[in-house]
Amino acid sequence: MENRIFNFGAGPCTLPLPVLQQAQAELLCLPGTGMSVLEISHRNKKYIEIYESAIRNLRTLLNIPSNYQVLFLQGGATLQFTMVAQNFLRGTGKSAGYFNTGSWGTAAIKEAKKEGPVVTVWNGKESNFNRIPKANEWQMDENFAYLHFTSNETIGGVEWQTEPSAGDVPLVCDSSSDFMARPIDVSKYALIYAGAQKNAAPAGVTIVIIRDDMLAKVPENLPVMLDYKIQADKESAYNTPPVFQIYMFNLVTQWLLNEIGGLSNMYAINQQKANLLYSAIDQSGGFYEGHATSDSRSIMNVTWRMPSEELQDLFAKEAKANGMAELKGHRSVGGMRASIYNAMTVAGCQTLADFMRDFQRRHG
């Protein structure tokens, strides 16, 4: 067994070590079944136990009211871009409001426009997607079919500190990259979706939290796999769900509950981790230049630039040699990025912050 490194990748990304260890220990034989979780039927009662445990844990972690359903779907946030618009925009005669705070907001809008009219209520493109809008910078329209926002932009590294006010309009959130990173008030949302591969599970499942009144709005005759109502009625098993990812999600939620102690604790740890890196940036005298404005900084994805491409390449190379991987920014924007999701440890962030200071001493 080789040594594991600190993986700062933006997703798929590091998972909690105790979760990986349990999955490994029982990979040939899930206790009580005589088979691997990779081989178990989604109609088997042991799977049903896992599925129900996962939902119960998530309900506890996020304090989800009883008039919301939890779904496990496939296709990532990108298929949700389509599903949200096909279920709740197309054919309504209304427009939907979308915030464009970065690459994912842009992608959500692009897919929604294929289904119906979209109003971009705020666009961060002019400022190179380096911030979240203030409350007085955008206009609500009470006739929107829904209002959509991306709670954290993985590529730019900007994050809503609190959700926008939608009034009586259904609030829809792409929470892929900060899902379960902190407590939220689910009752403010009509629909939350999250690709799992940041904080929740390995890539291959998408978690959806949807309010019952939204399910009642789903139109007739949608493709069955794109129909939230059918997926809810069939408890996410209309066809074969991604059993392994749901099993892993259950283990991750157990870890959050039992080892971390819930999302308030997780949030405090995440703030501590982010502060380690933002302090290294802020104290660098401009050697590390943060991308996000200070009031919009993400606690999940810390992004910065350095004085030259050469220094950035050298930084990534030296970091790798010191056991810290995946620190280059997204290929579409360049720069540097440290993704520090729930499973990244304080020790990992401290190691990186120390390295940043050391690197600056040597090359600054």
Q: Which residues are catalytic?
A: 104, 174, 198
> How far is it, in rounded angstroms, from Cα 249 to Cα 98?
29
**Burial of 189 from C-beta contacts in 10 A (0-12 / 13-18 / 19+):** buried
* Window 12 to 51, contacts with its own copies (CB under 8 A): 12-15, 17, 20-21, 23-24, 27-29, 31-32, 34-36, 38-44
DSSP state of 218: P
**Burial of 323 from C-beta contacts in 10 A (0-12 / 13-18 / 19+):** middle
Pick the binder of its own copies from 53, 54, 63, 77 (CB under 8 A): 77
* Strands annotated E in 220-326: 289-290, 301-305, 324-325
Q: How far is the CB of 219 from its own copies (least distance, A)?
A: 12
The answer to whether the beta carbons of residues 121 and 166 sit under 8 Å apart is no
Pick the binder of its own copies from 109, 111, 132, 270 (CB under 8 A): 111
Q: What are phi and psi of 259, to 5 degrees?
A: -95, -35
Pick the binder of its own copies from 18, 53, 61, 79 (CB under 8 A): 79
Pick the binder of its own copies from 102, 156, 170, 202 (CB under 8 A): 202
Q: If binding is defined by CB under 8 A, does position 10 make contact with its own copies?
A: yes
Q: How far is the CB of 137 from its own copies (least distance, A)?
A: 29
Specify the residue for token string 């129909």.
Answer: 227
Q: How many CB atoms lie within 10 A of CB 135?
A: 9
Pattern 244-283, its own copies, x by CB under 8 A: xx--x-----------------------------------
DSSP state of 161: S
Query: Which value, in Å, is the radius of gyration of the alpha carbons in the chain?
Result: 21
Q: If binding is defined by CB under 8 A, does position 125 make contact with its own copies?
A: no
Q: How far is the CB of 33 from its own copies (least distance, A)?
A: 8
> How far is it, in rounded angstroms, from Cα 249 to Cα 59?
13
Pick the binder of its own copies from 76, 116, 290, 348 (CB under 8 A): 76
Pick 121 or 251: Cβ nearer its own copies: 251
Single-letter amino acid, residue 264: S
Q: Which of 177, 159, 175 has the alpha carbon at shortest distance from 209?
A: 175
Q: If binding is defined by CB under 8 A, does position 332 make contact with its own copies?
A: no
- Applying CB under 8 A, the residues found at the interface with its own copies are 1-5, 7, 9-15, 17, 20-21, 23-24, 27-29, 31-32, 34-36, 38-44, 74-79, 81-82, 86, 110-111, 114, 195, 197, 202-205, 221-226, 238-245, 248, 323, 325-326, 331
